[in-house]
């Protein structure tokens, strides 16, 4: 018995998160996300609204979690119809879920205008829905929609809605800041009023939105006031400005004494170390650019830029970092940038296995080259492998494995023999390997794909070595706007060892920029192979 109170984490990524502009989960997407959430250890996974659309109905044909409570969301029964005669309610209760979360009006204005029934009829609908749910053997919860605005407009009625939900047998009564405009002090005061009205905090939940940038603070304020269930989404996705970000809230609950001393969740500290991975896996699934500045898990969350800090941070991190990065699965980054001092560079090079003496004059050359290129648009912070190549070329020697004498990319859109318009892309590459000139041609989905295939089609004696090289991702960023602007291309590559690396190219020509990044990727791969061979030899293992 730890003596700590239990906090419950309720994820609504697949239900409220579905309202995010640009997000549309397929059934397969939902299955994958539910697994991520279940494996991570959230207490509840709200999967959607069975009956409202085909995807959700199909999703609830099976229970999709092993440990987390699987929750179906939907409206309370309609006024004027009995619980047993409401088809929407029936679909909810038939769904393969452990629990049902009913959304109920708790602002009298909405009862009148959106539902078109009386205040009493709404209370009866809440009571009947919860009763039916409990009778069906499922856990019942009620989202009191617009609760805080409803309380401000008519506190007696809002409380009546919440109390009705509780007394009918709800495990949780969730107070929702649906419009997102409530302030933390108001959250605290109103939650206190709800508890004073007879609903214990351990049956209360909070559902906050980020319309004033305080969804996290409002959730934590509600917990301070006695609430014990927190609703939110992964990476704060959601309608308008998003829902409360569970990725941001959980580490605070578990690592800050103000909360960690009083509360525990269903997640262990080992589990917490997987939260950066969870956040990134979710971004990848949605094909969303990760927020580099996200609290705890963002790529920059523990990155120091100013040279003034770097050496101090490495000595006693807790005086510069509010939590140790590894507790959330993140790492400290000492960033390469034109503000970085020599100690930054040396630390960064060391991190990549390149040892250089502080007094080495080639270090100044490298620093100058990096600053120059970053001013042109190269982003070495995101292109590890290109940075390493530049460093190795400046500080030492990188062999010229092969030379590209020229290339030509062509995209043509024309009528084919059937009179249909089609587009073809072709690339021709001329390389010299070991004094011999090789020419390759390839077709592709587009000019960059064609160039990539042609470039890796015949590199003579190196061909076998790069056979397991594959491209995983391709990012384009236009700097300075317009079609005549500077293009920055970042390419992610990987090979059969599972290693992944990023390379960068910059040009006013997108094909040129892509070509630079492709070249760096191939040369990096060839260098990696040689490093691996040397390490193997050094270890006395037969190659």
Contacts (CB under 8 A) with a second copy, residues 94-133: 107, 109-110, 113-114
Tell me: does residue 79 bind a second copy (CB under 8 A).
no
Among residues 136, 314, 320, 433, which is the contact residue for a second copy, using CB under 8 A? 320
Q: Please state, as a whole number, how many other Cβ atoms lie within 10 Å of the Cβ of residue 57.
A: 17
Tell me: does residue 432 bind a second copy (CB under 8 A).
no
**Quick one: which segment of 132-140, 273-281, 353-361, 481-489 binds a second copy (CB under 8 A)?**
481-489
* Closest listed residue to residue 331, CA positions, set 384, 286, 376: 384
Contact (CB, 8 A) for 250 and 275 = yes
Contacting residues for 510 by C-beta, under 8 A, at least 6 apart:
448, 476, 487, 489
Among residues 117, 136, 398, 510, which is the contact residue for a second copy, using CB under 8 A? 510
Please classify residue 315 by burial: count the beta carbons closer than 10 Å to its beta carbon, then call 0-12 exposed, 13-18 middle and 19+ buried.
exposed
Q: Which of residues 210-249 bind a second copy (CB under 8 A)?
A: 210-214, 216-217, 220-221, 224, 239-242, 245, 248-249
Nearer to a second copy, 24 or 270 (CB): 24
> Cβ 471 to a second copy, closest distance in Å?
5
Q: What is the dihedral of CA 418, 419, 423, 429, to 10 degrees?
A: 60
Q: Which of residues 323-342 bind a second copy (CB under 8 A)?
A: 323, 335, 337-339
Among residues 67, 293, 467, 536, which is the contact residue for a second copy, using CB under 8 A? 293
> Cβ 269 to a second copy, closest distance in Å?
17
Binding mask 343-382 for a second copy (x = CB under 8 A): --------------------------------x---x-x-
Nearer to a second copy, 331 or 339 (CB): 339
Cα 449 to Cα 20, 227, 410, 453, 464, distances in angstroms:
32, 54, 11, 6, 20
Tell me: does residue 441 bind a second copy (CB under 8 A).
no
What are the start-end ranges of the E strands in 178-236? 204-207, 229-232
Contacting residues for 19 by C-beta, under 8 A, at least 6 apart:
238, 239
Helix axes 342-351, 361-376, angle to 10 degrees: 90
Tell me: does residue 488 bind a second copy (CB under 8 A).
no
**What single-letter DSSP state applies at residue 274?**
T
Among residues 485, 499, 532, 535, which is the contact residue for a second copy, using CB under 8 A? 485
Q: Which of residues 2-21 bind a second copy (CB under 8 A)?
A: 19, 21
What's the length of the chain? 543
Tell me: does residue 29 bind a second copy (CB under 8 A).
no
Nearer to a second copy, 116 or 198 (CB): 116
Q: What's the count of helices (H) and strands (E) in the chain, helices before strands?
A: 19, 18
> Cβ 482 to a second copy, closest distance in Å?
6
Tell me: does residue 302 bind a second copy (CB under 8 A).
yes
CA-to-CA distance for 161 and 175, rounded, in angstroms? 11
Tell me: does residue 270 bind a second copy (CB under 8 A).
no
* The Cα angle at residue 98 between residues 135 and 10, in degrees rounded to 5: 120
Tell me: does residue 529 bind a second copy (CB under 8 A).
no
């Amino acid at each position: 018995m730890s003596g700590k109170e239990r906090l419950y984490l309720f994820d609504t990524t697949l239900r409220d998160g579905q309202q995010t502009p640009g997000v549309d989960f397929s059934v397969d997407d939902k299955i994958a996300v539910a697994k991520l959430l279940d494996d991570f250890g959230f207490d509840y996974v709200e999967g959607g609204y069975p009956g409202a659309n085909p995807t959700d109905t199909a999703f609830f044909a099976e229970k999709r979690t092993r440990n987390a409570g699987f929750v179906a969301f939907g409206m309370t029964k309609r006024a004027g119809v009995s619980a047993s005669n409401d088809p929407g309610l029936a679909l909810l209760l038939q769904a393969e879920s452990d629990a049902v979360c009913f959304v109920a009006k708790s602002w009298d204005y909405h009862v009148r205008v959106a539902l078109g029934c009386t205040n009493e009829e709404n209370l009866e609908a809440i009571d009947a829905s919860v009763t039916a749910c409990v009778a069906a053997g499922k856990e019942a919860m009620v989202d009191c929609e617009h609760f805080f605005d409803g309380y401000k407009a008519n506190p007696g009625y809002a409380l009546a809605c919440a109390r009705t939900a509780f007394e009918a047998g709800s495990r949780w009564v969730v107070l929702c800041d649906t419009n997102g405009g409530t302030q933390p002090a108001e959250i605290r005061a109103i939650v206190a009023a709800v508890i004073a009205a007879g609903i214990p905090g351990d049956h209360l939940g909070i559902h906050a939105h980020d319309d004033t940038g305080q969804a996290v603070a409002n959730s934590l304020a509600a917990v301070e006031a006695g609430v014990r269930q927190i609703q939110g989404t992964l990476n704060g996705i959601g309608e308008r400005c998003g829902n409360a970000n569970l990725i941001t809230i959980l580490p605070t609950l578990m690592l800050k004494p103000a909360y960690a001393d009083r509360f525990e969740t269903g997640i262990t500290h080992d589990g917490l170390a997987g939260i950066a991975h969870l956040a990134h896996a979710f971004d990848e699934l949605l094909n969303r650019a990760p927020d580099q500045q996200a609290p705890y898990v963002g790529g920059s969350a523990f990155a120091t830029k100013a040279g003034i800090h770097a050496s101090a941070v490495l000595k006693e991190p807790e005086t510069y970092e509010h939590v140790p990065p590894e507790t959330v699965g993140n790492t400290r980054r000492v960033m390469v940038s034109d503000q970085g001092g020599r100690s930054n560079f040396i630390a960064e090079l060391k991190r990549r296995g390149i040892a250089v003496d502080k007094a080495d004059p080639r270090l100044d050359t490298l620093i100058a080259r990096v600053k120059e290129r970053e001013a042109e648009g190269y982003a070495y912070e995101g292109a590890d492998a290109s940075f390493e190549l530049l460093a190795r070329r400046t500080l030492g020697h990188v062999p010229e494995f092969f030379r590209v004498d020229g290339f030509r990319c062509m995209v043509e859109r024309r009528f084919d023999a059937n009179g249909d318009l089609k587009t073809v892309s072709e690339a021709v590459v001329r390389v010299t390997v070991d004094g011999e000139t090789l020419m390759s041609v390839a077709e592709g989905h587009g000019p960059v794909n064609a160039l990539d295939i042609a470039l890796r089609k015949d590199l003579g004696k190196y061909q076998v070595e790069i056979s397991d090289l594959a491209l995983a991702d391709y990012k384009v960023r236009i700097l300075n706007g317009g079609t005549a602007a500077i293009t920055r291309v970042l390419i992610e590559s990987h090979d059969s060892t599972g290693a992944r690396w990023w390379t960068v190219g910059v040009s006013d020509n997108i094909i040129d920029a892509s070509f630079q990044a492709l070249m760096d990727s191939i040369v990096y791969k060839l260098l990696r192979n040689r490093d691996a061979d040397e390490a193997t030899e050094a270890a006395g293992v037969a190659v």
